[in-house]
Chain A
Amino acid sequence: MAFHLPEDYYYTKEHEWAQVDENIVTVGITEFAQDQLGEIVYVELPEEGQKISQNQSFGVIESVKAVSDLFSPVSGTVIEVNTSLSDDPSVLNDDPINEGWLVRIEMDSEKELANLMRSPEYKKLINEK
Chain B
Amino acid sequence: MTNPQKTPLYEEHVKLNGRIVDFAGWSLPVQYVGVKEEHLNVRKNVGLFDVSHMGEIRFLGPKALESLEWMTTNSVSRLETGDAQYSLIPNEQGGLVDDIIIYCLQKNSDYLVCVNASNTEKDFQWFKSHNQGADIINQSSFWAQIAIQGPKASELCQRIFQANSIAPTCATMKPFTVKSAYFKEHPILIASTGYTGEKGVEIYIENSGASKLWQLLIESGQDLGVMPIGLGARDTLRVEMKYPLYGNEINDTMNPYAAGLGWVIKPDLKDFLGKNLLLEGKNKGLTQKLVGFKMIEKGIPRTGYSLFSFDNQEIGKVTSGTHSPSLDAPIGIGYVASRQSEIGTEIFVDIRGKKVKAVVCKTPFIER
Contact = CB atoms under 8 A, between A and B. Distances in A.
Contacts of A38: 31, 34-36, 232
A7 to B, nearest CB: 28
B302 interface: yes
A39 B298 contact: no
Nearest to A60: B352
Contacts of A39: 34-36
Contacts of B332: none
Nearest to A62: B300
Given A64-B322, A64-B325, A86 B298 contact: yes
Interface of A: 38-39, 41-42, 44, 60, 62-65, 67, 86
Contacts of B30: 65
Interface size of B as a range: 10 to 19
Interface in B196-223: none
Given A64-B232, A64-B236, A41 B31 contact: no
A-B pairs, 8 with minimum CB distance: A41-B323, A64-B35, A39-B36, A64-B323, A65-B232, A62-B300, A42-B300, A38-B34
B286 to A, nearest CB: 31
B299 interface: yes
Contacts of B330: 41-42
Contact of B298 (A42, A63, A64, A67): A42
A70 to B, nearest CB: 12
A90 to B, nearest CB: 10
A64 B34 CA distance: 10
Given A62-B323, A64-B325, A65-B322, A42 B299 contact: yes
B299 A64 contact: no
